[in-house]
Amino acid sequence: MKIERLLTEMYRYYSGEPNRIQHFIKVHSFALQIGREEGLDERTLQILEIAAVVHDIGIKKALEKYGSYSGEYQELEGPPEAKAILEKLDYPQDIIERVCYLVGHHHSFYKIDGMDYQILIEADFLVNMHEGSMGMDSILSVMREIFRTKTAKEICKLMFNIRE
């Protein structure tokens, strides 16, 4: 039941910003599917779900402080914002720490240290490929160089009609 409470908190956090809400909902959906199909254990899947919902929480503070929401600023400003919401909802400290780590590194594609991190990156890319109107060369590069899970690769191929 906690994930629903977290979703509602994030709707409040991004009230009036439907694009941001739609983004994290899509990332959460892909992350959950990939995590389940890749056989994550329940704890890792829970961390992944939470991180997928709050992964971009640093955008608001980054825009306020720096006038930019570049990945570097999101990674800097996101963890304290995520921690505040997760503590308010009484998540266990060890889960908060891992989620904050993921939020603080979700634009660092070459430091991946676990399946929760890998799948979060893949789910976010799947959404960003479409939302950012990424070109086919970039999509293929990301799929080949960054994606590691069979599930995310298959989703990507189907979504963009890639035949390899």
Residue with tokens 């590194």: 105
Q: What is the pTM of this model?
A: 0.95
Share of the chain above pLDDT 90, in %: 83
Of the listed ranges 1-10, 63-72, 87-96, 107-116, the one predicted with least confidence: 63-72
Residues 21-77 have pLDDT tens digits of 999 999 999 999 999 999 999 999 999 999 999 999 999 998 898 988 878 888 888
Candidate from 11-15, 23-27, 59-63, 156-160 with smallest mean pLDDT: 59-63
Is the domain defined by 2-159 classed in CATH 1.10.1740.10? no
- Which band of pLDDT confidence, cut at 50, 70 and 90, is reported for residue 2? confident
Confidence at residue 122, expressed as pLDDT on a 0 to 100 scale: 98
How many residues would you count in the chain?
Answer: 164
Domain segments of the chain as ranges: 2-159
Which residue matches tokens 């809400």? Answer: 21
| Long-range contacts of 9-18, Cβ-Cβ distance < 8 Å, separation of 24 or more | 9/85, 9/88, 9/89, 10/53, 10/54, 10/57, 10/85, 13/57, 13/60, 13/85, 14/60
* Segment 143-161 mean pLDDT: 97
Burial of 113 (0-12, 13-18, 19+ CB in 10 A): exposed
Is 1's pLDDT higher than 70?
Answer: no
Q: Tell me the pLDDT of the chain averaged across its residues.
A: 95
